[in-house]
Amino acid sequence: MAESHKRKAKKDDFLMQGAILAAAGVITKIIGVVYRIPLTNILGDEGIGFYGYAFEVYAMALVLSSLSLPTAVSKLVSARMAMKQRKNAFRVFTCSLIFAIVVGTLFALIIFFGADAFSTHLMKSPLSAFALKVLAPGLFIVSILGVLRGYFQGLGTMVPTAVSQIIEQIVNAVVSILGAVFLFKVGTRAAEKQNNELLGPAYGAAGATVGTIVGALFALLFLIFAFFVYKDVIKRQIRRDKSRRTESYSRILKILIATIIPVIFSTAVYNINQILDMTLFNMIMAAQGFTEEKYMALLGIYSGKYNTLISVPLAMANGLAASVIPSLTAAVTTSNRPQVYNKINQSIRFTMLIAIPCFVGFVVLASPIMVLLFNDASTTPAALLALGAITIVLYCLSTVSNSILQGLDKISTPAKNAGISLVIHIIALLIMLIVFKWNIYALVGSNIVFALCMCILNMSAIHKASGYKQDMEKNYVRPLLAAVIMGVVTYAVHLILDILIGGRFATIISILIAVLVYAVSVLKLGVLSVDDILALPQGNKILRLCRRLHLLSEEEY
């Protein structure tokens, strides 16, 4: 009984930390969507295209320099904390920090001085160089930021990371809009002098990227403050460390690099995926007779509207993924197989509980959502969202399964799977663009292929590595049935409200009703067991409320 209670406590903490980070991720993405609305209006589709191009190169550099650091540091720190080696855990942090400063500085210099070459030859968009140069210093800042976030996550707390993400995004939103407005005006004046109407959007995109740098800087300052607040606790932990083994910095560096490389590769594939998509799209569209203004506008819709909306539910998966790595690493280190299975199952189930209704909701309300957020009633954005909504489910599952494999010490497996999926993806993209001439829809279709391949390969690898077998009914079938019920009701409600009151208010009410209907459907269909509900933050209160309102399925009484 005591052991069962202890196991539940650990499970609660795992879900609590995952929920904190997932909530922060969703909040930051919502802020991102909100500020993208005025940003899109300021820059136009062409400006958002330049903005998106610069960010793809920046994101690629981030992957190579620092994006893998939170994962690697949290994994190495959590493994040592599980073995009570607190001194070695801090040595991992120190070594990682020095590594981040060196690598971050190097990549910041490469991107700044190579911006013109990257924009002209790699992206085939020379005017994106302005935004890319502004983004370059962010590589240094984010490298240090990643180490601090990874250290706190490895210690088992996601709160500093969560708060820093929210601060970063709020500052980013405000400064991006102000920077875009100011530099767009500067660019417009330059455009008149140089007779190049694209200079306004290009300068505006550069102004918008200032927010990324300032936001990251504020987040870093907060984490430095949090670290100094927590330093006395760290000192006490180190003093109580009775382990005799002290790891050398050279050994830690070797382990860190060995951990980072496969994580870099698997993450890089996702970003290379986007860069290759855009580069191939531009080249083929130009060869098919489309003007630069036309295909840049299409890419602006794809990156500024479609990708922005799709990324909101993906933030939840990223939160759970970040939480499951140190949690699973600790369970694997202590050879606790029941806990390993439990964490895998819960990570997948709670990811699907969010991803599947988002997919159905975007299909049902694609056009109303585009009108609500971007005041865009045209066909292309809504069609992209409806057709590509399934990628929410696939990318969420592939993201979480990547982290599960990393937590199981199968660090190179996601990299191999990503490489295989990328090859299949590129072949599919070329066929869709050249043979079928699907235009911008080819980008969506090929990404579905990529994410599906990742899911199949990753889930197969998880089974081989741990023996874990999926609960298909509770993890997928029942949530999908609940989401379909939600979708039917939501479509009918919106249809009626659109006739009666019309406008954005009808969409907002429909979304609120959709959330309520889905929650009731999930409980009535028995997607969540009593144990699952108890495992949630404030699970006892939620369970009492569900019983009082008779929301549980008969099998749970």
pLDDT tens digits, 181-194: 888 888 788 767 77
Residue 393: per-residue pLDDT: 97
247 in a structural domain: yes
Among 417, 443, 470, the domain-final residue is 470
Residues 398-413 have pLDDT tens digits of 999 998 998 898 988 9
* Same domain as 525, residue 408: no
Three-state secondary structure of 319-337: HHHHHHHHHHHHHHHCCCH
d(Cα 172, Cα 313) in Å, to the nearest integer?
20
Three-state secondary structure of 382-433: HHHHHHHCHHHHHHHHHHHHHHHHHHCCCCHHHHHHHHHHHHHHHHHHHHHH
Amino acid present at 152: F
Using pLDDT thresholds of 50, 70 and 90, give the confidence band for residue 508.
Answer: very high
Residue 494: per-residue pLDDT: 96
445 in a structural domain: yes
Q: What is the mean pLDDT of the chain?
A: 86
233 in a structural domain: yes
d(Cα 183, Cα 389) in Å, to the nearest integer?
34
What are the distances in angstroms from CA 400 to CA 160, 174, 207, 236, 322? Answer: 21, 31, 34, 34, 9
1 in a structural domain: no
**pLDDT of 556 strictly over 60:** no
Distance of alpha carbon 405 from the chain centroid: 17
Using pLDDT thresholds of 50, 70 and 90, give the confidence band for residue 363.
Answer: very high
**pLDDT of 13 strictly over 70:** no
Nearest residue to 454 via CA among 408, 409, 404: 404
Residues 194-211 have pLDDT tens digits of 767 677 777 888 888 898
Residue 105: per-residue pLDDT: 94
Q: For residue 245, give the DSSP letter.
A: -
Three-state secondary structure of 203-239: HHHHHHHHHHHHHHHHHHHHHHHHHHHHHHHHHHHHH
d(Cα 448, Cα 433) in Å, to the nearest integer?
15
Q: Which two tokens stand for residue 545?
A: 């409320």
**pLDDT of 12 strictly over 50:** no
Using pLDDT thresholds of 50, 70 and 90, give the confidence band for residue 152.
Answer: very high
538 in a structural domain: yes
**pLDDT of 458 strictly over 50:** yes
* Same domain as 389, residue 491: no
* Same domain as 406, residue 360: yes
pTM: 0.79
Q: Which two tokens stand for residue 287?
A: 């060869």
Using pLDDT thresholds of 50, 70 and 90, give the confidence band for residue 272.
Answer: confident
d(Cα 98, Cα 89) in Å, to the nearest integer?
15
* Total number of domains in the chain: 2
More confident residue, 96 or 502: 96
Using pLDDT thresholds of 50, 70 and 90, give the confidence band for residue 300.
Answer: confident
Nearest residue to 312 via CA among 278, 268, 362: 362
* Same domain as 492, residue 449: no
Q: Could you tell me which residues come within 8 angstroms of residue 310 by beta carbon, excluding any fewer than 6 positions away? A: 362, 385, 388, 389, 391, 392, 395
78 in a structural domain: yes
* Same domain as 508, residue 434: no
Residues 423-456 have pLDDT tens digits of 999 999 999 999 999 999 999 999 999 999 999 9
d(Cα 324, Cα 11) in Å, to the nearest integer?
11
Residue 124: per-residue pLDDT: 67
Q: Which two tokens stand for residue 285?
A: 């569209």
**pLDDT of 11 strictly over 50:** no
Among 410, 445, 470, the domain-final residue is 470
* Same domain as 414, residue 539: no
By residue range, what is the domain housing residue 320? 14-470
* Same domain as 488, residue 364: no
* Same domain as 232, residue 145: yes
Residues 509-528 have pLDDT tens digits of 999 999 999 999 999 998 88
* Same domain as 159, residue 304: yes
Using pLDDT thresholds of 50, 70 and 90, give the confidence band for residue 122.
Answer: low
Among 439, 470, 501, the domain-final residue is 470
Q: What is the Cβ-side half-sphere exposure of residue 7, based on CA atoms within 13 angstroms?
A: 14
d(Cα 30, Cα 358) in Å, to the nearest integer?
14
Residues of the chain above pLDDT 70, percent: 94
Residue 99: per-residue pLDDT: 94
**pLDDT of 286 strictly over 80:** yes
Stretch 468-484: mean pLDDT: 92
Residues 220-258 have pLDDT tens digits of 999 999 999 988 888 888 888 877 788 999 999 999 998
* Same domain as 167, residue 275: yes
Position of tokens 């960010």? 55
Q: What is the Cβ-side half-sphere exposure of residue 172, based on CA atoms within 13 angstroms?
A: 24
* Same domain as 169, residue 299: yes
Q: Which of 225-229, 336-340, 363-367, 515-519 has the lowest mean pLDDT?
A: 336-340
Using pLDDT thresholds of 50, 70 and 90, give the confidence band for residue 290.
Answer: confident
4 in a structural domain: no
**pLDDT of 6 strictly over 60:** no
Stretch 50-60: mean pLDDT: 76
What stretches of 272-362 adopt beta strand conformation (E)? Answer: none
**pLDDT of 33 strictly over 50:** yes
Q: For residue 468, give the DSSP letter.
A: -
7 in a structural domain: no
Stretch 144-164: mean pLDDT: 91
Residue 429: per-residue pLDDT: 95
Residues of the chain above pLDDT 90, percent: 43
* Same domain as 164, residue 124: yes
